Amino acid sequence: LYDAFQTIIMLSGHGEHDFSKMDATKTIQLVEEVFTALSFSVEILKFDALIEGKNIEKQPLFKLWHLLYSFEGDNSRTGNQTLIDKIMGLTNFPKEYATIIANISFQDDYGSLSTKAMRKILPHLKDGFAYGGRKERPEEPSACEYAGYRHSKHSLNKEEIENKVLKDRLEILKKNSLRNPVVEKILNQLINVVNGIIDTYGKPDEIRIELARELKKSADEREKMTAAISKTTAAHEQIRKLLKNDFGLKHVSRTDLIRYKLYKELEPRGYKTLYSDTYIPREKLFSNEFDIEHIIPQSRLFDDSFSNKTLEKREVNIKKGNDTAYDYIFNEEGQAGIDNYLLKLDDLVKDAKISRTKYKKLKMKGSEIPDDFIERDLRDSQYIARHAKGMLEAIVKNVVTTTGSITDRLREDWQLVDVMQELNWDKYDKLGLTEIIEGRQGQRIRRIKGWTKRNDHRHHAMDALTIAFTKRSHIQYLNNLNARSNKESRIYEIETKELKRDENNRLRFKAPIEIKAFRAAAKEHLSNTLISIKAKNKVVTQNINITKKKNGTNKKQQLTPRGQLHNETIYGSSLRYVTKLEKVGAAFNEEQIAKVANKKYRAALLQRLKEYNNDPKKAFTGKNSLQKSPLYLDKAQNLTVPEKVKTVTTETIYTIRKAVTPDLKIEKVLDSKVRAVLAARLKEYDNDPKKAFSNIEDQPIWINEEKGICIKRVTITGVANAQALHDKRDKYGHPLLDAEGKNIPVDFVNTGSNHHVAIYRDNTGNLQENVISFFEATTRATLGIPIIDKDYRKEDGWEFLFSMKQNEYFVFPNEQTGFNPKEIDLMNPENYHLISPNLFRVQKIATKDYVFRHHLETNVENNNDLKGITWLRYGLNGIVGIVKIRLNHIGQVVAVGEE
């Protein structure tokens, strides 16, 4: 609001002011003086939080806030004219200034408090109590506590924590209990995992969790974040190509990408560094002469983000030491140097070459480095994190939270970074998908081509392992690096006890056990890790459907499908002729001969068949094949029935009407005459569909210009397979029948994804299948019959073996290694390392076409180089000998075979 006031004061000719650098009292005084001079209302600058009752809502500032907060738009051209008018009436602002106020939008990224809660808390804030309490005076109640609010476990004292009654297990969240199905689903998975751990290993004494910042974000924010990541990835790929082609780098590391991006930040300054104004020649960018420099030293603030980095001469970086950029410039050049330095920064931020965050860090004095930097980054108030942490505190006394940045640091210090690549090395090396490159210091670097640790689901287990060994002292140390210079502080004590210097004199956290033993133990446990992914087994669930009626509502409990029954498009149907050229042979019985198009051929073939008692094998194969024993059509024996004859049949096709647009596929148009006219039109416009079909209103496509008949919509072929939604009826609802007295199906839909495929063994020992769509599975469920038909064709001697659904797990035999899943105890955890290389989950199913993905793989692309390793594609013959298993929530095999 005061940013808007600042703009109004500037536009009114009363000078430019930066309120962020002014005292609050002086700011209000200045605004009041200017508004009084302009005859604006100054009542909007005043607010009394202590007024009782409804009178608080009558204050002009409250009214202004409520207008801005609650207004949702109107039907005016601008969409906010009503709001502008109301602001003008409340403040006496002219329209120009009222529009500035109307364009204010409040960010959601703050604590959510009702006005009722704020009214309770504000008086205590005015009395000098901190909102959440003070660390330096923990015995002093917070303003929230005085108002009767206790936010979390941290409001409890030590005695209360010790005496707290704990639950034995967590309860599954009820549907709509949080009014956010995504959050409920995530938290219920957490509950299942925690309960699984308790059931198997007993209740833990302490739980350590890493809070992810993006969990609070809305779907829109997550989508934007994902788009930003994709954009950055694409940009990095472009930079990687540039560095290889223009700079001659054989291997481009993440550090190289950062170095180049920092170099481009300096482009407006002629590629001169910020501290020493040293020019960086392109050929020396990747030399040892220039360092990636931390603006605020890592020794004082644990921040390895891009916004805390710049390029500088190595000598300058060494000389800068533990100073912030601002302090270094001041110590070297005094106030004159600082003034010049700030002008450089202002130019860069105005040109958007550096971010606001980096701008603030470049201006930060050492005395301004925040304490508890990471702890504030935890954002315990996040919606999902708050519920997760609260739930876990109900079963254990202590829940310790950490962040990804701390996990990254510990993983690096404990030499766990390359473990994932080491575990995957052999299978990629056998395929020739590895390389050994030379670093710029001459070191040999092993690398899997195009692979990252995130390709393997076990990177989450690696993080969990690191988090499990994260101590409170680790968090405290990284949280308060600025205090380590004080040898009497707790931080210095932690450094002495928990850290040591490596061969490069860098401080590293000590591993929980000797580093080689720790890495070996980590690799062993990760090799035994089986990844559990939830299979979507439910087809329908019981739901209460509520509908409105005149005097209230109707409630009815009924089955609800758990997925989309069919695609949205509704198709019509028609018959079309299908012609084939077929060789006359054992398949040419009376029914097949009736399909032969040529009448003379048809008669001759029927005569030959009749001569051999309607046995096509005797009539048309062996010595009686048409090649050896021709069928003559005339007495002179000049004309014969050819070995291949044309057959004509009809098939049902599913059609849909489409408008003629540039994306129309002409080959799908049913009517041959219309298809020819459209093809001619396209050719007329040089095969450019945009030119040919974009303006058909002004330039019609005539099929009969004399009669005024033009083409606007056409009938095209749709899907290959479809299912009727219902049968044709008259206007009274009575069924309409065809000539044979059968119902006429209409309104066809594509039934979409398949629910499962059931596998059987027939009476000859061969495998057979029955693919069931989700549509059919739902129909079976609503009729109360088994979704998986284990008795299918039982009368023909078929035996049910197992079913396959998406994300169900199967262990495959391996001829190369001799592994046979039927020869080992699949439920014994000691065999998990043997199971893991051969464990695959069902990814996609179609008729005699099944795609499986290795359980460790996060990537779902079908890279042919990795076929047989990371993914499999088989028909019925490829699944002989596989064994179905089920994993629980903590990755244990709990069932073998069909249940």
Predicted pLDDT of residue 382: 54
Bridge partners for 571 per DSSP: 748
Burial bucket for residue 398 (CB in 10 Å: 0-12, 13-18, 19+): middle
CA distance 356 to 343: 15
Q: Which of 223, 164, 227, 172 is nearest to 196 (CA)?
A: 172
Task: Please provide the DSSP assignment of 395-446 as one string.
Answer: T-SEEEEE-HHHHHHHHHHTT-TTHHHHHHHHHHHHTT-EEEEE-TTS-EEE
Q: Which of 342, 340, 301, 297 is nearest to 317 (CA)?
A: 297
CA distance 796 to 276: 88
Question: Cα-atom radius of gyration of the chain, to the nearest Å?
Answer: 37
Tell me the C-alpha to C-alpha distance, in Å, between residue 37 and each of 41, 47, 425: 10, 21, 76
pLDDT < 50 stretches in the chain:
153, 214-216, 372-381
The token pair at 192 is 């299942």
CA distance 687 to 425: 51
Contact between residue 477 and residue 495 where contact means Cβ atoms under 8 Å apart: yes
Q: What is the pLDDT of residues 512-563, one digit of tens each?
A: 999 999 999 999 999 999 999 988 778 888 888 777 776 777 888 888 887 7
Q: What is the pLDDT of residues 735-752, one digit of tens each?
A: 999 888 999 999 988 887
DSSP element (H, E) containing 899:
none
Q: How many CB atoms lie within 10 A of CB 33?
A: 13
Burial bucket for residue 352 (CB in 10 Å: 0-12, 13-18, 19+): exposed
Number of helices and strands (H, E) in the chain? Answer: 29, 26
CA distance 236 to 229: 10
Q: How many CB atoms lie within 10 A of CB 195?
A: 18
Tell me the C-alpha to C-alpha distance, in Å, between residue 799 and each of 494, 528, 761, 804, 886: 67, 35, 5, 16, 22
Task: Read off the DSSP letter of residue 570.
Answer: -
* Sequence-distant (≥ 6) Cβ neighbours of residue 234 within 8 angstroms: none
Predicted pLDDT of residue 226: 65
SS3 328: helix
CA distance 295 to 304: 10
Predicted pLDDT of residue 214: 46
818: alpha, beta or left? (left if phi > 0; alpha if psi -120 to 50): left
CA distance 243 to 259: 11
Predicted pLDDT of residue 483: 58
Q: What is the pLDDT of residues 571-618, one digit of tens each?
A: 899 888 999 999 999 999 999 999 999 999 999 999 999 999 999 999
**With the CA atoms of 345, 346, 348 and 353 taken in that order, what torsion angle do they form, in degrees rounded to the nearest 10?**
110
Pairing relationship of beta strands 398-402 and 206-210 according to DSSP bridges:
parallel
The token pair at 881 is 């000998």
SS3 11: helix
CA distance 490 to 481: 11
Sole residue written with tokens 């009448």 = 599
| Helix axes of 515-527 and 458-468: crossing angle, nearest 10 degrees | 140
Predicted pLDDT of residue 106: 67
DSSP element (H, E) containing 206:
strand 206-210
CA distance 435 to 86: 69
Rounded (to 5) percent helix, strand, coil in the chain: 40, 20, 40
Burial bucket for residue 713 (CB in 10 Å: 0-12, 13-18, 19+): exposed
Is this structure's pTM higher than 0.75?
A: no
